[in-house]
Structure 1
Amino acid sequence: MTATPHPLVTAARRLAAEVLAPRAQDVDQDGVPLSSIEAVKASGLLGVGAPVAYGGSAAPTAVARETAEILAGACCSTWFVQTQHHTPVATLAKSDLPVRDRLLGPLARGELLSGVAYAQLRAHPRLPVRVTRERGGWRFDGTVPWYSGWGLNDVMLLAGVTDADEALFAFTEAREQPGLRASAPMRLAALSASRTVSLDLDGLWLPEESVALRVPYADWAVTDRPKNTNASPAVFGVTAAAIALLEDDPAAKETARVLRERLDEVRREAYALADHPVPTGRIDERLVWKTRAYDVMRAATTAAVVAGGGRAMDLRHPAQRLAREGMFLLVQGQTAEVRAAHLGALGSAGSPGPLSS
């Protein structure tokens, strides 16, 4: 007997099959179109973890992971733009500030798409973005080095550090305005389609009513740390997509079988650790399985290129796109701790190969 899939999983599969996968090669070269974003908004997936009272689905974590795998495997660029949205939703769901009632409903229902501009907080004690009191609100100054979805997002969740060493998160419209200027879109080796820019903040003023979270930086960092030590569902989605290419090639079916077994094992162990009842527990183990997930992804995407031969070098071939998307995921959300663990695993003498246990 096969359990009936969650409605959002069904919606993700339909979106992937009818919109994202057929466009993926063109999107990779030309950018994520507004039509794809409108399809994501209409799918209900933007409210996957949002409270039902605000129009969301409050779906289990397993459903959120599965839908993320499906979207990333179909079109990693579109997945990356929409995945930013879920942090603002989660932030608002936990907030008791006025901005919750203004924005949580529209974000949960997919009426608005939000981006995020907070990764610079992880550079602490450096302060790329400083926040100071001004005119009853908050002034932002500095540089956001990476912001994805420019021209696609309706709003953004922007963060900086106050003079009191607090992490402060506030919402603003995702457009140029006094005190906020965007760079030209970055040309990246992968996911240039995500419309990633840097943001120059020079006296951007936001009212107190825009603030969603204000907490001592040390407290925020404690909750942020384990998020990046867990394996990303997108890694498993891209890996599965590469394996599917191999499964369609009679000469690569045995390689696909071995990789599929390894993927299933790593996914199971990584998600079990992510679900550990102590969110900050077993960090070293999380990092081990995160790096093993990278190993399987690298093996699968490399195998897809090898199986494709010279054809895989054509920009219209999905194997090279998946390989480049995999390269991007190696550094997406990377922290110093994750980088050190990954480099240690890659450089360890006698370390197991990507298909070894």
Structure 2
Amino acid sequence: MTHRDHPLVRTAQALADGLLAPHAARVDEEGVPVSHLDAIRASGLLGVSAPVEYGGAGAPDGVAREVAEILAGACCSTWFVQTQHHTPVRMLARSELPVRERLLGPLATGELLSGVAYAHVRAFPRVPVRVTRAGDGWRFDGTVPWCTGWGLNDLLLLAGVSDFGEVVFAFTEAREQPGLSPSAPMRLAALSAARTVSLSLDGLWLPDTSVVRRTPRATFAPADLARAANTSPAVFGVTRAALNLLADAGEPESARVLWERLDALRTSAYTLAEHPAPEAHVPERLAVKTQAFTLLRTATTAALVARGGRSMSLQDPTQRLARAALFLHIQAQTPASRTTHLKALTEEQ
């Protein structure tokens, strides 16, 4: 059985065709509805990578990537909200702390939906969120610049850095509470529908029983940077959707040429992602990621050109994919990926 034959991949395709894509224009204007997340919860997709013994599917990474491509191509905003959930699941699956037994099952089955708030840890030596020991728990102070899925998530995986250079990850309820205040929803050029806010933390206290991981930043950073060097499946998913529109607009030969490039890049990116040494070949991963961005930009632009003036309608999927492409260019951006990407852009002929 290939990854595309896996039951969860077929489930994702059915959701994409029957729910996400038909309503993507409305979602783009009005926001991701609870009903979309309820459908994803019920589908089993939130547990695609979770251990079977906790109610998950325990599917190979290739299946998870295929699911992500399908969801992102159908409705990138909905994909972005639900994709946050998979990081807490994976972190809990590797944890040996008590919170694993309390939360991994509900997250694996979709009973609970989790967001994340830790990208700011990459800003070091700036420390936007600082943690300090406080009794039998931790105090969080500072500002989380980005938190997606506010009002949709049940939980939030939050991180901060201590004065001793330790990164502390802990769960909290995704709601306003003493020590945690959200901003108004941000109006963004793309994916405003994903309900992104910033969070003000002023003495938010979380007990030790909420902590899922404590690790020296010197250990966390290299692994995190290597992960961020991989190409997001969403890049390929949005590219695929744009090429389908290009072909449907009467340009099958142009689409065919770009499909060949997509297949080659996808194979290279996923081969590197599955390398047994996760922190190996970072320059090669970044190079492929940059090439994938170039193809994404080419595919979405080609679809715009082929569809002409109608692509400027907010109801047209072409401009929505082009705006999603802008977002994907900066999602999970690191200094290394930014440098590599800018170098490639300035060397383009």
TM range (shorter): over 0.9
Q: Deviations over 1:199-243 (max 9, x none)?
A: 000000111100000011111112111111111100000000000
C-alpha distance in 1 between matches for 2:103 and 2:3:
35
C-alpha distance in 2 between matches for 1:115 and 1:292:
29
Question: Closer, same or farther in 2 for the Cα pair 1:101/1:34, shift >3 Å?
Answer: same
Structure 1 residue aligned with 2:123: 123
SS of residue matched to 1:22: coil
Question: Closer, same or farther in 2 for the Cα pair 1:185/1:284, shift >3 Å?
Answer: same
Q: How far is the alpha carbon of 1:282 from its aligned partner?
A: 1.0
C-alpha distance in 1 between matches for 2:49 and 2:179:
33
Letter in structure 2 aligned against 1:36: H
Q: Within 5 A, what are the aligned runs for 1:217-256?
A: 217-250=217-250, 252-256=251-255
C-alpha distance in 2 between matches for 1:205 and 1:229:
33
Letter in structure 1 aligned against 2:170: A
C-alpha distance in 2 between matches for 1:307 and 1:348:
27
Structure 2 residue aligned with 1:110: 110
C-alpha distance in 2 between matches for 1:20 and 1:349:
36
Structure 2 residue aligned with 1:315: 314
Structure 1 residue aligned with 2:190: 190
Q: Deviations over 1:27-64 (max 9, x none)?
A: 01110000001001011010011000000011001100
Letter in structure 2 aligned against 1:186: M
C-alpha distance in 2 between matches for 1:209 and 1:185:
30
Structure 2 residue aligned with 1:327: 326
Letter in structure 1 aligned against 2:70: I
Q: Which runs of 5+ in 1 are unaligned?
A: 351-357
Asked if 1:22 is matched to 2:48, the reply is: no
TM-score normalised according to structure 1 size: 0.96
Question: Closer, same or farther in 2 for the Cα pair 1:342/1:327, shift >3 Å?
Answer: same
Q: Which runs of 5+ in 2 are unaligned?
A: none
C-alpha distance in 2 between matches for 1:3 and 1:135:
48
Q: How far is the alpha carbon of 1:246 from its aligned partner?
A: 1.2
Q: How far is the alpha carbon of 1:3 from its aligned partner?
A: 8.2
C-alpha distance in 2 between matches for 1:290 and 1:134:
42
C-alpha distance in 2 between matches for 1:202 and 1:2:
49
C-alpha distance in 2 between matches for 1:155 and 1:168:
16
Q: How far is the alpha carbon of 1:125 from its aligned partner?
A: 1.2
Structure 2 residue aligned with 1:268: 267
C-alpha distance in 2 between matches for 1:20 and 1:3:
21
Q: How far is the alpha carbon of 1:4 from its aligned partner?
A: 7.1
Structure 2 residue aligned with 1:258: 257
Structure 1 residue aligned with 2:295: 296
Q: How far is the alpha carbon of 1:249 from its aligned partner?
A: 2.1
Q: How far is the alpha carbon of 1:135 from its aligned partner?
A: 2.6
Q: Deviations over 1:87-114 (max 9, x none)?
A: 0001100111111111000000001100
Structure 2 residue aligned with 1:72: 72
SS of residue matched to 2:27: helix
Q: Within 5 A, what are the aligned runs for 1:75-154?
A: 75-154=75-154
Q: Within 5 A, what are the aligned runs for 1:190-209?
A: 190-209=190-209
Structure 1 residue aligned with 2:6: 6
Letter in structure 2 aligned against 1:117: A
SS of residue matched to 2:131: strand
Letter in structure 1 aligned against 2:143: T
Q: Deviations over 1:123-181 (max 9, x none)?
A: 01111000011132110000000000000000000000112210000000000000000
SS of residue matched to 1:115: strand
4+ residue runs over 2 A deviation: 1-4
Residue pair 2:4, 2:63 contacting (<8 A) in 1 also = no
SS of residue matched to 2:254: helix
Structure 2 residue aligned with 1:355: none
C-alpha distance in 2 between matches for 1:46 and 1:32:
16
C-alpha distance in 1 between matches for 2:189 and 2:229:
24
C-alpha distance in 2 between matches for 1:210 and 1:2:
38
Letter in structure 1 aligned against 2:213: L
SS of residue matched to 2:324: helix
SS of residue matched to 1:138: strand
TM-score normalised according to structure 2 size: 0.98
Q: How far is the alpha carbon of 1:2 from its aligned partner?
A: 7.8
Letter in structure 1 aligned against 2:293: Y
Question: Closer, same or farther in 2 for the Cα pair 1:3/1:228, shift >3 Å?
Answer: closer
C-alpha distance in 1 between matches for 2:157 and 2:208:
14
- Identity over aligned pairs, percent: 65
Residue pair 2:3, 2:63 contacting (<8 A) in 1 also = no
C-alpha distance in 2 between matches for 1:349 and 1:21:
34
Q: How far is the alpha carbon of 1:283 from its aligned partner?
A: 1.0
C-alpha distance in 1 between matches for 2:327 and 2:2:
34
Structure 2 residue aligned with 1:354: none
Letter in structure 2 aligned against 1:261: E
